[in-house]
Amino acid sequence: MRTGFTILVLVFSSLFALYGQQDPEARKILDEFTSKAQASYPIRIEFQISSESMIDHSTWSKEGELILDGARYFIKLEDSRIYCDGTTLWHYLVSVGEVYISDPENTGSEEDLLLGNPQDLFTFYERDFKFRYTDEVEINGKKFHHIDLFPKDLNMHYHTITLIISESDYQLYSIRTKGTGGLNQTIQFHNYQKKVKTTKDTFRFNPSQHPEVEVIDTRL
């Protein structure tokens, strides 16, 4: 006869095993989402980032554009430009007239899924996340997949990431992060352009085109 303690251990073991499993339906959609995005490189996307504090109910938003080609990317915001050719990163502060040079691996942040790690936009879920297919949603007459992701690292600044992905072409409609400290962020994407033409200057800051800008190299 099994003892009460043995049964309790078996129950908890089953629960932990179930929690650790990845939702196969979500996995299939996410893999297709990644495959189609990478097949479209270089890709250009316009976006809007919105942030809301659940503590003081303050909000802010900003718009920008992203050109992404694997490890290379360019981000344009109202007051700054970020260039990365895969080995070097330039952060150009337009209003200040300064550009800071750094190594890409020393700049990214796991807390910022777009501005910190744009090269991981379509692949970040592959590591350190559990995920599940939540439901199908309809937005402006179009159907989308709703997938929730949960970081395995409980020290992250967010506890849930929600992806809204188009059912028809697997394009990313939005990402929403729910912060453990009450700060939520939403990134909405639009105006996808696939296989855009790029040059070496697309992903590199060219000082000859900005002679008035002070270049500050922060690399050791």
Instruction: Tell me the domains of the chain and their CATH numbers.
Output: 23-217 (2.50.20.10)
**pLDDT top residue among 10 and 152:** 152
Question: What is the Cα–Cα distance from 121 to 107, expressed in whole angstroms?
Answer: 15
Q: Please enumerate, as own/partner, the contacts of 139-148 that have beta carbons within 8 Å and a separation of 24 or more.
A: 139/164, 139/173, 142/166, 142/167, 142/168, 143/167, 143/168, 144/173, 145/29, 147/26, 147/29, 147/30
Q: Return the pLDDT at 16.
A: 38
Closest CA to 83 of 71, 95, 129: 71
The chain-wide mean pLDDT, for the chain, equals: 88
Do residues 145 and 135 make contact, with C-beta atoms less than 8 angstroms apart? Answer: no
H helix or E strand, kind and range, residue 17: helix 4-20
Q: What is the C-alpha R_g of the chain?
A: 21
Chain Cα centroid distance, residue 35: 16
- Average pLDDT, stretch 130-155? 95
Reported confidence tier of residue 154, pLDDT bands at 50, 70, 90: confident
- With a cut of 60, say whether residue 22 has pLDDT above it: yes
Start-to-end C-alpha separation, the chain:
66
